[in-house]
Structure 1
Amino acid sequence: MEILKDKNFLFLFLGRIVTNIGDSLYYVATMWLVYELSQSSFYVGLAGFLVLVPKALQFLTGPFVDKWDIKKILVTTQLLQCLLLILIPVAYTLHFLTVPFLLVLMPCIAIIEEFAYPTQTKALPLILKKTDLIKGNSLFSFAYQGVDLVFNALAGILVALIGAISLFIVDSVTFGIAAMLFSFLKIPKKRKAQLAADVREEAAFISYKRDLFEGFSIVFGSLLWVFLLGSVVANFAIGMTMAILPSFANNIGGVEMYGFLLTAVSAGSLIGALLGSVLGKFRVGVISIVCFALGAGSWTLSALIGSPIISTVLFGLAWIPIGAVNVLFAGIDQAVLPNHVLGRVNSVMYSISVVAMPIGSLLGGYLATTMSSSTIFAFTGIGVFFISLVWLAHPDLRTLPKAHDIDASTFKINTQSFDHDTGKEAPFG
């Protein structure tokens, strides 16, 4: 591919892949180690909560990413993760590796990640021509899904073969390699200088508050809040599932099953994303109800059957309709929302929906102390079915037409109350 001949992009792309590999290995190994040390899903749920909370607060890192040097952020974040991860084998060797130690370390690493990924995305338009941005983003997206698909499964197998502690040493090295790759980047000085010149802290803060308020106003002043309700419920269920997944995997096969179940999530989501365009041929209201119902049914059966192979396959199948509908919803958002408010509305919806994941993780871990992981797993499948019920009960959603027939008025979005050049609220009259 022509774009890969650009050495600057190649270093960024390879660094992205290596970072993703490191994150996949780290997540599987750490969550399993917490379960292995504690033998309690409650601590796994707490660990999930601590890892996911920084994602809900990602908007706080934006001003820093805009202000700081891109190359320094990329290199520093990878080196910090490299150093923090090597502390785990050191702690094990010195006999002070405990669950509280891991619970302090994990959110620190999660916070660093919230600086790393936005900075990688921001670097892309600085080193690529405008005409190459779509190709670059596509490669980034494919690499992210592909790495998750392969290394979630591989991480589980490696933990079973060499142990979690040894895997952390390997993981630490991957982040060191990523730091080296990012160090070869050359961010164009003129663009970097112009970017820095455009940053005005006080004005940016005022603009941020205004945009945030407008984002909330649009979401809760239209039918988009019902989309948000479905996303919140789904992410809450996902958070609960991830908290008890190590325990469930251990019951049906061990740590390698944990990796396979996570791989099933990535595989199902990827297949669903590829099929998303097909759903555009059907009425959105009907197809959404059907897809979430099918996903919930497959999800619940995966928990109830409890077979290593069948459960993994069914869990993967559950994510196909969910992944497909998510792609459909993303396209609808882009079609019905004016471009000048799209970013702020999406950020509001993303932040609110993601908040449900750490809460679900914490609750899932707690409930696992009073009931079996299989029961909770099945219950979260029913939670996904709740989305179908909401759409079925809501007349405006139930009767939504095909995607290409949907516009802003369909969702009762008042696009005339916002000035299209500035994004400020326009005076009436």
Structure 2
Amino acid sequence: MTLRRPWPHSLAGQMALLIALALFVAQVINFALILRDRNEFRLAQATRPVAIRIADALEREARGDRPIVAEWGRIRRYPTDPVAPAGTERHPEVASELRRQLAEQGVQAGRIDTGLRTFPDDGDRAERRDLRRRGEHPADQLMIAVEQPGRGWLTIVVPWPRAGARLLWALLFQTLILYVVVLLPVLWIVRRLSRPLRDLRLAAERFGPGDTAAALPTSGPDDVAALIAAFNALRLRVAAMLDEKDRMLGAIGHDLRTPLAALRVRVESVEDETDRLRMVDTIAEMNRTLDDILSLARLGRPSEPVTEVDLAALVDAVVEDFRDLDAPVTFVEAERLRMRLRPALIRRAVRNLIENAVKYGEVAEVHIATAPASVAITVADRGPGIPPDRLAEVFDPFTRLETSRNRETGGIGLGLALARAIVQEAGGDIALANRPEGGLAATITLPR
């Protein structure tokens, strides 16, 4: 089982996916930068006021205005580290930043210890409201203990906001807005670009000899419109070249058939019966070769219209023509099959396969098999078959296989090439296969 690619196949889908991935990566980077800046801001917000308060308290104590004690005040003094026994979560980054802030204030500190504890219910309500207004939750308090060598530990408790989900939702909403604002115009532009390109692709796939479709409208951006205009001009030039080729082939066919007809009349005056019959056969073979070459060259621009025919009756009529010549051809009767075909061309393709079977395989056994979506016409013989590695080669024009075909039987190797070209023009194909019981089976498959 073939696995499909997980990404879109269309130009619009691939560009939309690429831009969506680029926006997502940009938002992830933006989110990381915001979190880093927020953490730095929270760190500075937690340490700068503490450093200022400690410096002011020490200055007041030095002036004798207010001593720092353990009973009251924002800053208290303890003989030992009050944070260490609590076993709370440490924040060494706060200690490092606070040491730098204290140094700027001219305060020399020893060890600095930090720890989190639950925010009390009777905390500062105004501070709580301010934190919530900024989208933060005052769920924790940060205890900071600063050692003064020989004088104990200074402690202070500050709010330690915990980032809430508001930031995440804000970034998600911002991402959604970016996707809407950027992706919708991009999708519109890409669809405007891809629609004429898709029409151009379909027109190029449909184009072939005899194509009479109208020129494509030159829509889309200037580059795409110029490409469509160039394709329209190219199609006109190709059609003109094909018309010129048909006229040239018609003239060649007329110029060759005229001397062949004259030669055929002159042959009748040859007295030797054997030589005359050989000359007649040679001229007939030249006429058949000329017909095959012209038919193969003109295929794709047939003058015969598509009509509804009974395929079984058509094949039966071809088989009857061979039976009238006493050729060993059998046909298994089939039910009526109404199909829209070019009957003369299909008749010629079937005739070529039967001729090959009779000529190289002694007999031709023809039968028709039907399927819900196709019809198969099989012509089987009892000849030597074809080497498996050369089954595809026999469809090339002017190709004959010396190891499996008798060169004395005539022909220049155009029968199978012409038959396959006719069937492919009708939307089908021809397959060759060696039969297990001996011989070759040529199968024409046509869509119903």
The verdict on a shared fold, with TM-score over 0.5 as the criterion, is: no
Pick 1 or 2: higher relative contact order, CA cutoff 8 A, min separation 6. 1
TM bracket (short chain): under 0.3
Query: By percentage of residues, which structure has more strand?
Result: 2
Query: By percentage of residues, which structure has more helix?
Result: 1
Could you state the TM-score of these two structures normalised by the residue count of structure 1? 0.23
Could you state the TM-score of these two structures normalised by the residue count of structure 2? 0.22
